[in-house]
Amino acid sequence: MPLTTYLDAIREAMVEEMRRDPRVFLIGEDVGSYGGAFKTSAGMIEEFGAERVIDTPISEVAIVGAASGAALMGMRPIAEMQFIDFITCAYDMLVNFTATSRYRVGSGCPIVVRGPAGGGTHGGPFHSLNPEAMFMNRPGLKIVAPGTAYDAKGLLKSAIRDDDPVLFIEHKFLYRRIKEELPADDYIVPIGKANVRRSGKDLTIITWGSMIYVADDAAAELAKDRVSVEVIDLRSILPFDEEAILNSVAKTNRVIILHEAPLTGGAGAEFAARIAEKAFDYLDAPIKRIAALDVPTPYSPPLEAFYLPDREKVIAAARELLRY
Protein backbone atom coordinates (compact mmCIF):
# COMPACT_ATOMS: atom_id res chain seq x y z
CA MET A 1 0.00 0.00 0.00
CA PRO A 2 1.20 3.56 -0.66
CA LEU A 3 2.35 5.67 2.26
CA THR A 4 0.13 8.54 3.40
CA THR A 5 1.57 11.81 4.64
CA TYR A 6 0.37 13.53 7.79
CA LEU A 7 -1.16 16.23 5.57
CA ASP A 8 -2.96 13.76 3.33
CA ALA A 9 -4.25 11.90 6.39
CA ILE A 10 -5.97 15.11 7.47
CA ARG A 11 -7.47 15.61 4.01
CA GLU A 12 -8.60 11.99 3.85
CA ALA A 13 -10.36 12.33 7.20
CA MET A 14 -12.26 15.43 6.06
CA VAL A 15 -13.20 13.92 2.69
CA GLU A 16 -14.36 10.63 4.18
CA GLU A 17 -16.42 12.35 6.87
CA MET A 18 -18.02 14.70 4.34
CA ARG A 19 -18.96 11.70 2.19
CA ARG A 20 -20.30 9.87 5.24
CA ASP A 21 -22.30 12.75 6.72
CA PRO A 22 -23.89 15.53 4.62
CA ARG A 23 -23.94 17.79 7.69
CA VAL A 24 -20.13 18.09 7.64
CA PHE A 25 -18.65 21.07 5.82
CA LEU A 26 -15.36 23.00 5.72
CA ILE A 27 -15.12 26.74 6.20
CA GLY A 28 -12.07 29.00 6.22
CA GLU A 29 -9.75 31.31 4.32
CA ASP A 30 -8.67 30.01 0.88
CA VAL A 31 -9.96 26.49 1.57
CA GLY A 32 -11.95 26.39 -1.69
CA SER A 33 -10.48 27.03 -5.11
CA TYR A 34 -6.98 27.55 -3.70
CA GLY A 35 -7.13 24.29 -1.74
CA GLY A 36 -5.85 25.74 1.53
CA ALA A 37 -2.60 27.50 2.35
CA PHE A 38 -0.89 24.11 2.82
CA LYS A 39 -3.20 22.28 0.36
CA THR A 40 -5.00 20.32 3.06
CA SER A 41 -8.27 20.84 1.17
CA ALA A 42 -6.94 20.43 -2.38
CA GLY A 43 -9.61 19.02 -4.69
CA MET A 44 -12.38 19.18 -2.13
CA ILE A 45 -14.34 22.02 -3.72
CA GLU A 46 -14.46 20.05 -6.98
CA GLU A 47 -16.11 17.12 -5.20
CA PHE A 48 -18.33 18.89 -2.70
CA GLY A 49 -18.98 22.30 -4.21
CA ALA A 50 -18.82 25.80 -2.78
CA GLU A 51 -21.80 25.11 -0.49
CA ARG A 52 -19.70 22.69 1.59
CA VAL A 53 -16.19 24.04 1.05
CA ILE A 54 -16.70 27.67 1.92
CA ASP A 55 -14.17 30.45 1.37
CA THR A 56 -14.42 33.28 3.87
CA PRO A 57 -13.10 36.79 4.42
CA ILE A 58 -10.00 37.17 6.60
CA SER A 59 -11.86 37.13 9.90
CA GLU A 60 -11.27 34.26 12.29
CA VAL A 61 -14.01 35.41 14.64
CA ALA A 62 -16.45 35.32 11.72
CA ILE A 63 -15.29 31.83 10.74
CA VAL A 64 -15.73 30.42 14.25
CA GLY A 65 -18.94 32.38 14.80
CA ALA A 66 -20.51 31.12 11.57
CA ALA A 67 -19.38 27.58 12.34
CA SER A 68 -20.78 27.72 15.87
CA GLY A 69 -24.13 29.02 14.66
CA ALA A 70 -24.31 26.30 12.02
CA ALA A 71 -23.44 23.66 14.63
CA LEU A 72 -26.28 24.81 16.88
CA MET A 73 -28.60 24.40 13.88
CA GLY A 74 -27.57 20.77 13.38
CA MET A 75 -24.52 21.00 11.12
CA ARG A 76 -21.00 19.69 11.82
CA PRO A 77 -18.55 22.32 10.60
CA ILE A 78 -14.78 22.11 10.34
CA ALA A 79 -13.37 25.62 10.78
CA GLU A 80 -9.84 26.04 9.45
CA MET A 81 -7.43 28.62 10.79
CA GLN A 82 -4.89 29.36 8.05
CA PHE A 83 -2.30 29.45 10.84
CA ILE A 84 -3.33 28.43 14.34
CA ASP A 85 -1.79 31.64 15.71
CA PHE A 86 -4.80 33.58 14.49
CA ILE A 87 -7.20 31.52 16.57
CA THR A 88 -6.51 34.22 19.16
CA CYS A 89 -8.74 36.51 17.10
CA ALA A 90 -11.61 34.11 17.81
CA TYR A 91 -10.73 33.48 21.46
CA ASP A 92 -13.75 35.31 22.82
CA MET A 93 -16.17 33.43 20.55
CA LEU A 94 -14.59 30.08 21.39
CA VAL A 95 -14.30 30.35 25.17
CA ASN A 96 -17.33 32.49 26.01
CA PHE A 97 -19.85 31.16 23.51
CA THR A 98 -18.87 27.89 21.83
CA ALA A 99 -17.29 26.17 24.84
CA THR A 100 -20.10 27.16 27.21
CA SER A 101 -23.01 26.22 24.96
CA ARG A 102 -23.79 22.87 26.57
CA TYR A 103 -23.65 24.43 30.04
CA ARG A 104 -25.78 27.45 29.13
CA VAL A 105 -28.49 25.99 26.93
CA GLY A 106 -28.06 22.21 27.17
CA SER A 107 -26.98 21.87 23.56
CA GLY A 108 -23.52 20.84 22.39
CA CYS A 109 -21.76 22.89 19.73
CA PRO A 110 -20.07 20.25 17.56
CA ILE A 111 -17.42 22.20 15.70
CA VAL A 112 -13.81 21.32 14.96
CA VAL A 113 -11.35 24.20 14.82
CA ARG A 114 -8.19 23.00 13.14
CA GLY A 115 -5.03 24.56 11.81
CA PRO A 116 -1.25 24.41 11.44
CA ALA A 117 0.76 25.02 14.60
CA GLY A 118 4.31 24.88 15.82
CA GLY A 119 7.82 25.91 14.91
CA GLY A 120 10.75 24.41 13.10
CA THR A 121 9.77 26.03 9.80
CA HIS A 122 11.20 29.51 10.45
CA GLY A 123 7.77 31.10 10.56
CA GLY A 124 8.64 33.66 13.23
CA PRO A 125 6.40 34.89 16.04
CA PHE A 126 3.17 35.15 13.98
CA HIS A 127 3.22 31.66 12.45
CA SER A 128 4.65 29.29 15.09
CA LEU A 129 2.17 29.23 17.97
CA ASN A 130 1.41 26.19 20.11
CA PRO A 131 -1.91 27.31 21.65
CA GLU A 132 -2.94 24.39 23.86
CA ALA A 133 -2.25 26.01 27.24
CA MET A 134 -4.34 29.12 26.57
CA PHE A 135 -7.43 26.94 26.00
CA MET A 136 -6.74 24.28 28.62
CA ASN A 137 -8.31 26.32 31.41
CA ARG A 138 -11.60 26.86 29.56
CA PRO A 139 -14.10 24.05 30.38
CA GLY A 140 -16.14 22.80 27.46
CA LEU A 141 -13.34 22.49 24.92
CA LYS A 142 -11.46 19.36 23.93
CA ILE A 143 -7.89 19.64 22.63
CA VAL A 144 -6.02 17.08 20.54
CA ALA A 145 -2.52 17.21 19.05
CA PRO A 146 -1.65 14.20 16.87
CA GLY A 147 1.96 13.43 16.05
CA THR A 148 1.48 10.66 13.47
CA ALA A 149 -0.47 10.31 10.24
CA TYR A 150 -2.49 7.46 11.73
CA ASP A 151 -3.48 9.56 14.73
CA ALA A 152 -4.10 12.67 12.63
CA LYS A 153 -6.71 10.83 10.57
CA GLY A 154 -8.25 8.87 13.42
CA LEU A 155 -8.41 11.79 15.85
CA LEU A 156 -9.86 14.16 13.25
CA LYS A 157 -12.63 11.67 12.52
CA SER A 158 -13.33 11.39 16.23
CA ALA A 159 -13.34 15.18 16.56
CA ILE A 160 -15.78 15.64 13.69
CA ARG A 161 -18.15 13.05 15.21
CA ASP A 162 -17.88 14.53 18.71
CA ASP A 163 -20.89 16.42 20.05
CA ASP A 164 -18.78 19.19 21.60
CA PRO A 165 -16.15 21.61 20.26
CA VAL A 166 -12.70 20.22 19.58
CA LEU A 167 -9.51 22.19 18.98
CA PHE A 168 -7.42 20.13 16.55
CA ILE A 169 -3.76 21.16 16.59
CA GLU A 170 -1.82 19.87 13.59
CA HIS A 171 1.93 20.44 13.49
CA LYS A 172 2.94 21.86 10.13
CA PHE A 173 6.53 20.62 10.46
CA LEU A 174 5.06 17.12 10.14
CA TYR A 175 2.79 17.79 7.14
CA ARG A 176 4.99 16.25 4.44
CA ARG A 177 7.76 14.74 6.57
CA ILE A 178 5.73 11.99 8.27
CA LYS A 179 4.41 9.12 6.16
CA GLU A 180 2.67 5.91 7.18
CA GLU A 181 0.68 3.07 5.73
CA LEU A 182 -2.91 3.66 6.89
CA PRO A 183 -5.75 1.13 7.12
CA ALA A 184 -8.04 1.00 4.12
CA ASP A 185 -11.07 0.58 6.37
CA ASP A 186 -12.71 3.31 8.41
CA TYR A 187 -11.17 3.79 11.85
CA ILE A 188 -11.09 6.31 14.67
CA VAL A 189 -8.64 7.12 17.47
CA PRO A 190 -10.52 7.85 20.70
CA ILE A 191 -10.08 11.29 22.23
CA GLY A 192 -8.50 11.12 25.68
CA LYS A 193 -6.44 7.95 25.20
CA ALA A 194 -2.63 8.11 25.24
CA ASN A 195 -0.31 5.84 23.27
CA VAL A 196 2.77 4.17 24.77
CA ARG A 197 5.18 4.61 21.85
CA ARG A 198 8.07 2.96 23.64
CA SER A 199 8.02 0.84 26.78
CA GLY A 200 10.73 1.39 29.41
CA LYS A 201 11.57 1.01 33.08
CA ASP A 202 14.10 3.74 34.02
CA LEU A 203 12.49 7.01 32.94
CA THR A 204 9.24 8.30 31.43
CA ILE A 205 8.99 11.03 28.80
CA ILE A 206 5.47 12.47 28.44
CA THR A 207 4.93 14.46 25.27
CA TRP A 208 2.72 15.08 22.20
CA GLY A 209 2.77 16.46 18.66
CA SER A 210 6.12 16.81 16.92
CA MET A 211 8.00 16.37 20.18
CA ILE A 212 7.32 12.62 20.10
CA TYR A 213 10.15 12.35 17.57
CA VAL A 214 12.52 14.32 19.78
CA ALA A 215 11.63 11.94 22.60
CA ASP A 216 12.16 8.91 20.34
CA ASP A 217 15.60 10.14 19.29
CA ALA A 218 16.63 10.83 22.88
CA ALA A 219 15.37 7.43 24.02
CA ALA A 220 17.29 5.68 21.25
CA GLU A 221 20.50 7.48 22.22
CA LEU A 222 20.03 6.73 25.92
CA ALA A 223 19.40 3.08 25.09
CA LYS A 224 23.04 2.85 23.94
CA ASP A 225 23.93 3.30 27.63
CA ARG A 226 21.32 0.72 28.64
CA VAL A 227 18.89 3.35 29.88
CA SER A 228 15.34 2.15 29.29
CA VAL A 229 13.03 5.06 28.45
CA GLU A 230 9.25 4.93 28.22
CA VAL A 231 7.73 7.42 25.77
CA ILE A 232 4.08 8.38 26.29
CA ASP A 233 2.39 10.21 23.41
CA LEU A 234 -0.62 11.85 25.06
CA ARG A 235 -2.32 12.60 21.71
CA SER A 236 -5.15 14.28 23.64
CA ILE A 237 -4.29 17.20 25.88
CA LEU A 238 -7.84 17.69 27.14
CA PRO A 239 -9.20 15.31 28.27
CA PHE A 240 -5.86 13.64 28.95
CA ASP A 241 -5.07 10.07 29.92
CA GLU A 242 -4.25 10.48 33.60
CA GLU A 243 -4.19 6.73 34.14
CA ALA A 244 -1.48 6.23 31.52
CA ILE A 245 0.62 9.02 33.04
CA LEU A 246 0.36 7.74 36.61
CA ASN A 247 0.91 4.10 35.66
CA SER A 248 4.07 4.99 33.79
CA VAL A 249 5.46 7.13 36.61
CA ALA A 250 4.73 4.35 39.09
CA LYS A 251 6.79 2.01 36.93
CA THR A 252 9.81 4.22 36.10
CA ASN A 253 9.90 6.61 39.11
CA ARG A 254 11.38 9.44 37.02
CA VAL A 255 9.60 11.69 34.54
CA ILE A 256 10.32 14.34 31.94
CA ILE A 257 7.45 16.36 30.47
CA LEU A 258 8.39 17.62 27.02
CA HIS A 259 6.47 20.18 24.99
CA GLU A 260 7.22 22.74 22.30
CA ALA A 261 5.26 25.67 23.78
CA PRO A 262 7.12 27.99 26.19
CA LEU A 263 7.80 26.62 29.65
CA THR A 264 5.97 29.05 31.94
CA GLY A 265 2.25 28.32 32.08
CA GLY A 266 2.59 25.50 29.57
CA ALA A 267 0.33 22.45 29.56
CA GLY A 268 3.15 20.43 31.08
CA ALA A 269 2.66 22.28 34.37
CA GLU A 270 -0.78 20.66 34.75
CA PHE A 271 0.61 17.19 34.15
CA ALA A 272 3.42 17.86 36.61
CA ALA A 273 0.89 18.95 39.22
CA ARG A 274 -1.20 15.80 38.74
CA ILE A 275 1.89 13.63 39.15
CA ALA A 276 2.92 15.55 42.27
CA GLU A 277 -0.57 15.18 43.75
CA LYS A 278 -1.26 11.56 42.84
CA ALA A 279 2.09 9.82 42.31
CA PHE A 280 4.50 11.66 44.62
CA ASP A 281 5.38 8.52 46.56
CA TYR A 282 6.62 6.86 43.37
CA LEU A 283 9.06 9.64 42.44
CA ASP A 284 12.79 9.09 42.97
CA ALA A 285 13.72 12.47 41.46
CA PRO A 286 12.05 15.83 40.79
CA ILE A 287 9.66 16.19 37.87
CA LYS A 288 11.54 17.78 34.98
CA ARG A 289 9.93 19.96 32.30
CA ILE A 290 11.64 20.68 28.98
CA ALA A 291 10.04 23.29 26.75
CA ALA A 292 10.75 26.28 24.56
CA LEU A 293 12.19 29.45 26.03
CA ASP A 294 9.86 32.11 27.41
CA VAL A 295 10.27 34.41 24.41
CA PRO A 296 8.42 34.87 21.11
CA THR A 297 9.48 32.36 18.48
CA PRO A 298 12.56 33.70 16.66
CA TYR A 299 12.56 33.96 12.89
CA SER A 300 16.31 33.36 12.56
CA PRO A 301 16.92 29.61 11.96
CA PRO A 302 19.86 29.36 14.41
CA LEU A 303 17.94 31.27 17.08
CA GLU A 304 14.81 29.18 16.51
CA ALA A 305 16.87 26.00 16.90
CA PHE A 306 18.30 27.35 20.17
CA TYR A 307 14.80 28.31 21.35
CA LEU A 308 13.16 24.91 20.72
CA PRO A 309 13.58 21.71 22.75
CA ASP A 310 15.86 19.16 21.11
CA ARG A 311 17.36 15.73 21.64
CA GLU A 312 20.44 17.01 23.44
CA LYS A 313 18.37 18.95 25.99
CA VAL A 314 16.26 15.87 26.69
CA ILE A 315 19.31 13.61 27.05
CA ALA A 316 20.99 16.07 29.44
CA ALA A 317 17.84 16.26 31.58
CA ALA A 318 17.50 12.47 31.60
CA ARG A 319 21.07 11.98 32.74
CA GLU A 320 20.53 14.56 35.50
CA LEU A 321 17.47 12.69 36.75
CA LEU A 322 19.22 9.34 36.60
CA ARG A 323 22.08 10.71 38.74
CA TYR A 324 19.72 12.19 41.32
Residues marked as catalytic: 127
- Calpha distance 214→207 (Å, rounded): 9
Q: How far apart are CA 262 and CA 192, in angstroms?
A: 23
CB-CB contact of 267 with 259 (8 Å): yes
- From residue 130, how far is each of 151, 190, 200, 304 by CA, in Å? 18, 22, 28, 14
Phi-psi region of 103 (alpha: psi -120 to 50; beta: other; left: phi over 0): alpha
Q: List the alpha helices (DSSP H) in 140-285.
A: 149-161, 211-223, 242-252, 267-278
Residue 317 near residue 311, CB atoms below 8 Å = no
CA distances from 116 to 10, 85, 179, 241 (A): 11, 8, 17, 24
Contact 260, 230 (CB under 8 A): no
Residues near 300 by beta carbon (within 8 Å), at least 6 away in sequence: 122
Q: How many C-beta atoms lie closer than 10 Å to residue 238's C-beta?
A: 22
How much is the CA Rg of the chain, to the nearest whole Å?
A: 19
